[in-house]
Structure 1
Amino acid sequence: MLGYAFFAFVIGLAATPWFVSFLRRNRLGKQLRVETVDGRDATIFRKYHKDKFGTPTMGGILVWSSILLTVFFSRTLALLGLVDHSLLQRGEVYLPLFTLLSMGLLGAVDDYWNICGLGKRKGLDVLPKILFLLLISLIGAWWFSVKLGYDQIHVPFYGDVRVGWWYVPIFMFILVGTANAVNVTDGLDGLAGGLLVIAFLSFGILAYLN
C-alpha cells in the first residue's frame, strides 16, 4: 500500500510542472469574483486579489488522475502475476473511486465555467452544486449501508456506536460538508493542496493501521 501511495505521489509531482505550464500557455486561470453571494459588488475582494487574476486552476485533475493511474497500475501488476491483489479487489474501493470521479467532474465543470465566465457568478451556482453533492452522497450512503451492511460509526476514544438508519443522513452530512469545506478553503491561493496532503496522509495512516 505504501508503495502505491509513493507511486501516486511521484506521478503527481512529476506532472505538476508540465501541467502548470500547460495551464499558463492556454490561459486557464481563475477569474475574479464580480459580486458577493448576496449579489453585492465585491470591490474589497477584487482590491486585495487583483494580482492573483489568472492563477492556474483545475489542479484537481492532477489529484484524481494520479490516483486513477495508480489503480490501473496495480491492476496491471495483478494481471501480470507480479502481485497477489490489486486495489480493485476490495468492495470498499469502488465507492471512493466513484466519489473521486464524480466530485472531480463537478470541480472541473465549475472551474471551466469560471474560466469561461459562465454563470451568474462565473461558475456553477450554489443550488446545482448542492443537489449534485446530495445525489452523490445518497448513492454513497446507500452503498455503505445496504451493500456493505454498515450501520455504526467509530467515535475516537470511545468506540463503535450503532446508529441504525441514521447512518445514511450522517454519511451524507459528512460528505457534503467536507466537499464544501474544500471548495470554500481553496480560493485563489491553492490552499486545498496543503489540506489534501494532510487529509490523505491521515487516511493513509488509518488505512495502514487497519
Structure 2
Amino acid sequence: MLDYIIIALASFFITFLISFPFINLLYKFNIRRVSKIDLEKALPGRKVKFGTPIMGGTVIIISTLILLFLFLRGWKYYPMISAVLIIGGIFGAVDEYINTLGRTITAIRISRKNGEGRSLITVNKWFAPIKKVLMIPWKMFEEALRVMGSEQRGLKSHYKFILHLLIAGIAIAFFIDKQHSAAIYIPFAGNFFLGYFYYPILAFLLLFFANAFGITDGMDGLSAGTHSIVFLAYAILATFLGYTEVAYLCFILFGAELAFLYFNIFPARMEMSDVGTLPLGMLLVLSAAIIHREISLIFIGAIFIIEILSSVSQQWFVKLRGKRIFLVAPIHHHFEKLGWPETKVTMRFWLFTAISAMLGLVIALL
C-alpha cells in the first residue's frame, strides 16, 4: 500500500509543477474557450467563464505518461494505455483547436471548373437521385448525432464519433491480440462469458464514457473532482482484487487529477477540455474491463451516466416534442438555473459521486 501512496504523491507533484509553466503558455498563446451564445442566454453568469484557458488535460496526460514509462512499461497493457492517452489527447486537442479558431477556417473549397469553364467532374443526371438515396443512412446518422450535441465551433458530432470509434477500435484490437477474457463479472453469479458480443459492448462503453466525461466538464472543479473519486475507487477495487498494475494506473490518475483540481476549482485557472476528458473517460472503462468489473461502472460512474443522459434526453425531447425536461442541460446547469451557487452544485455532485462509488465498491466485491 505504501508504494501506491508514493506513486500517487509523485503523480500529484509532477502534475502540480508542470501546471504552472503550462498555464502561462495557455495565456501567452491565448488558447481559451470561446463563447457559447445559447448558454450565455440561459445562464448569464456563464459569460465570465468564457476566456478561461483550455487544454488543461495535457498536464494530466504528460505526468501519467512519465510515470507509466518509469513504473509500468513492462505491463502487457502499457502500449494500449499509452496509445489511448496519446491519440485521445491529440484528437481532443484538434477538436479544441478548431473550437478556438472556428470551423470556417478549416473549410477548403475546391473549384471544379478549369480555366476554360468546363467541368472537371461530371455526375450523370440519372445518378443524382440514386446518390440521394444512398446518402440517407449517413444523413440519418449525422442528424442523430447532431441532435445529441456538438461544440458550436468544434468538430461536428458525427466526425467526433468516428474518431472516438477509431480509438476504441485500437483498444479492442489490443484486447483481442492479448487474448483478454471476454467475460464480465456479475455480482452473486460470477463470471459470464459473452464471446464476441463482449467487444461491441466494450466499444459502446468506451464511447459512452468518453463523451460523458466531456459533458461533465462544465463547471469549475466538477470534472476533476468526480474523476478523482472514481479513479480512487477503481484503485481500491484493483488492490482488493490483486490487479497491481491497474491499481498503480488508477493511483497515478488519482494523484494527477488532485493536482489538476487545485488549478480547476472555482475560479478555474484552466479547463480540462477534450484533451483530458476523451482519453480519461476511456481509461476508466479500460480499467474496469481489465479487472472484469464493467458492471461496476453503473454505480461508480453513475454521475457521468446521469450527466450524459440528461443532455441527450433534453436534446431529443426538444427535437420530438418541442419541450424541455430540464431548465438547462446537462443537469448541473439545471441546478445552476434553479439558483444554486456553482460551488454548491459542484460539491454536492462530489458527494453523490463518493456515495455511488462506495456503493459500487461494495457491489463489485460481492
For normalisation by structure 1, the TM-score amounts to 0.81
Q: 1:191 to 1:113 in 2, by over 3 A?
A: farther
Please state if 1:11 is matched with 2:8: no
Please state if 1:99 is matched with 2:84: yes
**AA matched with 1:142:** A
Alignment of 1:120-135 (within 5 A): 121-135=152-166
Instruction: Note if contact 1:153-1:160 (Cα within 8 Å) is conserved in structure 2.
Output: yes
Instruction: Note if contact 1:141-1:172 (Cα within 8 Å) is conserved in structure 2.
Output: yes
Give the Cα–Cα distance (whole angstroms) in 2 for the partners of residues 195 and 104 of structure 1: 20
- 1:115-141 Cα offsets, whole Å, 9 max, x none, are 222358211111111011112112212
**AA matched with 1:104:** G
Which shifted more, 165-174 or 180-189? 180-189
1:151 offset after TM fit, Å? Answer: 1.1
Q: 1:117 to 1:89 in 2, by over 3 A?
A: same
Instruction: Note if contact 1:33-1:46 (Cα within 8 Å) is conserved in structure 2.
Output: no
Q: 1:204 to 1:32 in 2, by over 3 A?
A: same
Q: 1:100 to 1:158 in 2, by over 3 A?
A: farther
Aligned to 2:214: 183
Which shifted more, 137-146 or 48-57? 137-146
Question: Structure 1: which 5+ residue stretches go unaligned?
Answer: 35-40, 75-85
Aligned to 1:118: 103
RMSD, matched Cα: 2.2
Aligned to 1:136: 167
Please state if 1:21 is matched with 2:29: no
Instruction: Note if contact 1:30-1:188 (Cα within 8 Å) is conserved in structure 2.
Output: no
Give the Cα–Cα distance (whole angstroms) in 1 for the partners of residues 196 and 184 of structure 2: 12
SS of residue paired to 1:128: helix
Question: Structure 2: which 5+ residue stretches go unaligned?
Answer: 105-150, 243-366
Give the Cα–Cα distance (whole angstroms) in 2 for the partners of residues 13 and 158 of structure 1: 43
Could you say which structure has the larger radius of gyration?
A: 2
Identity of aligned residues (%): 33
1:94 offset after TM fit, Å? Answer: 2.0
Equivalent in 32, 39, 61 of residue 58 of structure 2: 61
**AA matched with 1:177:** F
Query: Relative CO higher for 1 or 2, CA cutoff 8 Å, sep ≥ 6?
Result: 2
Give the Cα–Cα distance (whole angstroms) in 2 for the partners of residues 127 and 178 of structure 1: 16
Give the Cα–Cα distance (whole angstroms) in 2 for the partners of residues 137 and 98 of structure 1: 11
1:185 offset after TM fit, Å? Answer: 1.1
Instruction: Note if contact 1:138-1:168 (Cα within 8 Å) is conserved in structure 2.
Output: no
Which shifted more, 170-179 or 192-201? 192-201
Give the Cα–Cα distance (whole angstroms) in 1 for the partners of residues 177 and 15 of structure 2: 35
- 1:22-54 Cα offsets, whole Å, 9 max, x none, are 3223321111124xxxxxx66624734211110
Give the Cα–Cα distance (whole angstroms) in 2 for the partners of residues 21 and 132 of structure 1: 30
**AA matched with 1:67:** T
Moved segments of 4+, more than 4 Å: none
**AA matched with 2:54:** T
Please state if 1:196 is matched with 2:181: no
- 1:64-111 Cα offsets, whole Å, 9 max, x none, are 101011123x2xxxxxxxxxxx40112122222211112111111111
**AA matched with 1:165:** Y
Paired residue total = 192
**AA matched with 1:17:** F
Please state if 1:32 is matched with 2:32: no
Q: 1:153 to 1:4 in 2, by over 3 A?
A: same
For normalisation by structure 2, the TM-score amounts to 0.48
Aligned to 1:206: 237
